[in-house]
Amino acid sequence: MIEPHVPAPPGSPPSWGSPARLPVRPGAGRFLVLAGAFVCAACGLVYELELVALASYLIGDSVTQASVVLSVMVFAMGIGSLAAKRLRCRAAAGFAAVEAALALVGGSSAMALYAVFAWTGDWGGLWASGPRVLLVTFSLVIGLLIGTEVPLLMELIQRIRRQDAGGAVADLFAADYVGALVGGLAFPFLLLPWLGQLTGALLTGTVNALVGGALVLGLFRRDLTRRGRWLLIVANLTVIGVLAAAAVLVDDFERAARHAMYGDDVRVALRTGVQEVVLTGGSDGRPLNLFLDGRLRVGGQDERRYHEALVHPAMDGPHARVLVLGGGDGLAVREVLRHQGVRRVDVVELDAGVVRLARRDPALAALNAHAFDDPRVHVTTADAFRLLRGARAAYDVVVSDLPDPGITASTKLYSQEFYGLARQVLTDGGRLVVHGGPVSNRPHAFWTVDTTIRAAGLRTVAYRVVGPDGTRSESASASEPGSMPGVGMGSGVGSGAVRAPQDWGFVLATASGPAPRLRVDGATAPRLRTLTQAELAADARAAARMRVVGLRASTLVHPRY
């Protein structure tokens, strides 16, 4: 609760000479300053969250990006608070200049970071970490500017009428914290779903400039010279004009950036409630590629080899009831349905938009052989972890076709607790198969998956498959500059280049009996196009030679990927 004005006790004289001459009553002026603090705090938190969200999407590893952004920004806020001491004697002009600069830098930060990633993401060399350097730079500059706000607002409140410092600080921080709450809630529930990251940041910058300029010009214009007022008006109009022009051009900018990242063959680009989905190719003989949040999920030239290796070793044995975790593209389901005796396939996919696209897009539906039209297939939109906690059905086969464990949001789906839940839904002799990411590029993460599955009480055998030419995929290795951790089939994108891993690693597990055998040439098994029994055995031996020993299981409270 904001307390009534309490006069300041006797002490040292203020940094200003006499109270400000306001066009409104002091009480109303004080309220307007606190309202300005509220709005500025909301805008500042939106800038922070926007940087974290965009960096997690573009660079990956949301925990690292959030830690970098928040720690650098908080540090810079402290430096900004110290720097504000030099502006106390010109608090009104200083605050106006800070808000104009913050509106421009914060409002344009998302577009600038996206542009650097799209057009220079695969440069390599000294610029390999360019997006990360820009992220830290924006965090530092925005933090410096935000840090100057509270000291200057404190001066402005005292300019209205000097009062007890403790009460003024309490009122100012209350407005600041409540504004941060509103900004923190507005970003995920309003700005991001309705406007997107780029337009949301531009709108936030515009509001920031309007409020900062209006507060100073409306209440403290007599503290400024005539020239100062005109400079402030011109500066704010310029900032608002730049942000408005960027907002008008944002759709063209996004299309150009997508073409720079995915090439000129972008056919579908949409944002579901969960992620950004991009389809390229799929017509005129061009291979179809599906990208989820900038990472390659389906590569038309390699996907069959990946999905045959994922599904068919697990199907050697009873397979009347099959559970597919993930797999919203329908390609793992396509391979499951090739086996005789499959009576029911349950698919658990978090993003209903991907399933809808897999049903309706002609090229993707043709690639998955219209798997979701089969009456035996039942789709549930849910989080895989949450669904397994309440599952009561028993399955002969569980196929885990989930995002790579290197992505922070997926870490819980590669935990000991998750595999313990998966074990509970397996029948006696049932099999679980898990995609564990590339073996050659990320052996520590892959063998941690194997160790974690064993810790959940299952017996495992690890195997891998390499690219279709027998050595590697047709694309660059995911460990090369400009690439990002892979999801399912492959990895990230940068300036039109499709990145794919050198190999794909899998772990086949069972809860009872000896370790499962690797077999794809059973009497009733379908004929595979890309994988033979001899190749599978050789690749399993190759994977075993890469084993990393001494690893510990990953858990919910101690992830190790």
Active site (catalytic) residues? 401
At position 47, the amino acid (one-letter code) is Y
Q: Is 360 helix (H, G, I), strand (E, B) or coil?
A: helix
Alpha carbon 88 to chain centroid distance? Answer: 40
Give the DSSP letter of residue 492.
B
* Element housing 459 (H / E): strand 459-466
User: Strand pairing of 493-494 and 395-401?
Assistant: unpaired
Instruction: Name every residue whose Cβ is closer than 8 Å to that of residue 13 and which is 6 or more positions away in sequence.
Output: none
Please say whether the dihedral angle defined by the alpha carbons of residues 210, 213, 215 and 218, taken in this order, is positive or negative: negative
276-280 vs 266-271, strand pairing mode: antiparallel
Strands of the 426-437 sheet, one edge to the other? 377-381, 344-349, 321-326, 395-401, 426-437, 503-510, 459-466
DSSP notation for 293-333: TTEEEEETTTHHHHHHHHHGGGGSS--SEEEEEE-TTSHHH
DSSP code of 3? P
In the 3-class helix/strand/coil scheme, how is 520-531 assigned residue by residue? CCCCCCCCCCCC
Instruction: State the DSSP string of 114-167.
Output: HHHHHHHTT--GGGTTHHHHHHHHHHHHHHHHHHHHHHHHHHHHHHH--B-HHH
Instruction: For residue 222, give every residue at least 6 positions away whose Cβ sits within 8 Å of its Cβ, in sequence order, or none.
Output: 20, 21
Whole-angstrom distance, CA of residue 455 vs CA of residue 553: 6
Is the Cβ–Cβ distance between 267 and 283 less than 8 Å?
yes
CB atoms closer than 10 angstroms to residue 320:
13
d(CA 330, CA 346): 12
**Spatial CA neighbour of 483 closest among 441, 531, 541, 435:** 441
Pair type for strands 426-437 and 459-466: unpaired
Report d(CA 63, CA 58) in Å as an integer: 13
Spatial separation of the C-alpha atoms in residues 186 and 251, rounded to whole Å: 22
Q: What one-character-per-residue DSSP string does 372-437 give? A: GGSTTEEEEES-HHHHHHH----EEEEEEE---TTSGGGGGGGSHHHHHHHHHTEEEEEEEEEEEE
